[in-house]
């Protein structure tokens, strides 16, 4: 099986987009997960629902909502145009779509690991006079980093495979917005099954790597708990 330069470019773009998206959502996802794990007041349910929405909505629905939000004639679209920033149908749109779609996976996984922390440990650190940031960095993260890592891998994997929202906000432009998932779709639609299979092989390898890492991390987490 011989890979073409185009195949490798598609792989590179996919990795670049998924990486950018994951790096961008990581700090926000951790903050939101922390909020959901600790906050008991009003608004929690609403935030919970909002965050999980992309997980339960059809990706195409999310894509259409993003498109309507950003299209030329919308308020946001006009603002972006005034700033001279193209988002829709550029690679930024791919990053946006993948970020929104993988965000809930990150938050869910991280939040679970935050909730598993014995709250007394946090309270003790606080009563010893440590500030919330210190406690977060020195108590919470060391106790939950496996969950954070697993969530990150999950989000990254989701970003690699995002299709429905991406095709609506970013189209399927070879060399610009065409990720593995989009290219597989296009090639199979054109009856170029063999060429599509080359890309499927990439996705299989990436999936194996992703699952393997997550499994390893999770297994150690279980072992360290017992």
Partner 1 sequence: MLALALLGATAVGAAEHPSEILVFAAVSTREAMEEIAKQFQRGTGQTVRFSFGSSSTLARQILAGAPADLFLSADLDRVEQLARAGLVRPSDRRDLLSNQLVVVVPAASAVAIKGAPDLVRLDRIAVADPESVPAGIYARKWLESAGAWTKLKGKLIPALDVRAALAVVEAGSADAAVVYRTDAAISKRVRVAYQVPLAEAPRITYPLARIAGSKQPAAQQLFRFLTGEQARAVFTRFGFIVL
Listed residue (102, 83, 94) closest to 176, CA to CA? 94
Q: How many helices (H) and strands (E) does the chain have?
A: 11, 0
Among 14, 21, 102, 179, binds partner 1 (CB under 8 A): 21
Contact track, partner 1, 46-85, x by CB under 8 A: ---------------------x-xxxx----x--xx---x
Q: Which is nearer to partner 1, 76 or 204 (CB)?
A: 76
Listed residue (59, 164, 55, 42) closest to 109, CA to CA? 55
User: Phi, psi at residue 49, to the nearest 5°?
Assistant: -65, -45
Distance of CA 190 to the CA centre of its chain: 29
Contact flag: residue 171 with partner 1 (CB under 8 A): yes
Contact flag: residue 144 with partner 1 (CB under 8 A): no
- Torsion angle of alpha carbons 137, 139, 143, 149, nearest 10°? -10
Q: Which is nearer to partner 1, 8 or 190 (CB)?
A: 190
Contact flag: residue 87 with partner 1 (CB under 8 A): yes
| Contacts with partner 1, residue ranges (CB under 8 A) | 20-21, 23-25, 28, 67, 69-72, 77, 80-81, 85-92, 95-96, 99-100, 103, 171-176, 189-191
């Amino acid at each position: 099986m011989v890979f073409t330069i185009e195949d490798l470019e598609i792989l590179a773009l996919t990795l670049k987009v998924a990486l950018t998206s994951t790096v961008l959502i990581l700090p926000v996802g951790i903050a939101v997960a922390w909020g959901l794990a600790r906050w008991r007041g009003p608004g929690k349910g609403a935030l919970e629902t909002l965050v999980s929405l992309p997980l339960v909505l059809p990706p195409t629905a999310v894509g259409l909502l993003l498109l309507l939000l950003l299209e030329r004639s919308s308020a946001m679209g006009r603002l972006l145009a005034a700033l001279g920033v193209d988002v829709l149908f550029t690679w930024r749109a791919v990053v946006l779509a993948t970020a929104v779609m993988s965000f809930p996976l990150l938050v869910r996984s991280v939040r679970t690991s935050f909730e598993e922390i014995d709250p007394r440990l946090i309270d003790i650190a606080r009563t010893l006079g440590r500030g919330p940031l210190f406690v977060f960095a020195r108590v919470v993260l060391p106790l939950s980093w496996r969950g954070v890592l697993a969530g990150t891998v999950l989000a990254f994997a989701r970003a690699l495979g995002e299709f429905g929202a991406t095709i609506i906000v970013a189209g399927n432009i070879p060399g610009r917005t065409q990720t593995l998932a989009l290219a597989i779709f296009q090639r199979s639609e054109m009856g170029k099954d063999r060429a599509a299979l080359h890309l499927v092989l990439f996705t299989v390898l990436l999936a194996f790597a992703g699952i393997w890492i997550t499994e390893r991390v999770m297994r150690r987490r279980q072992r360290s708990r017992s």
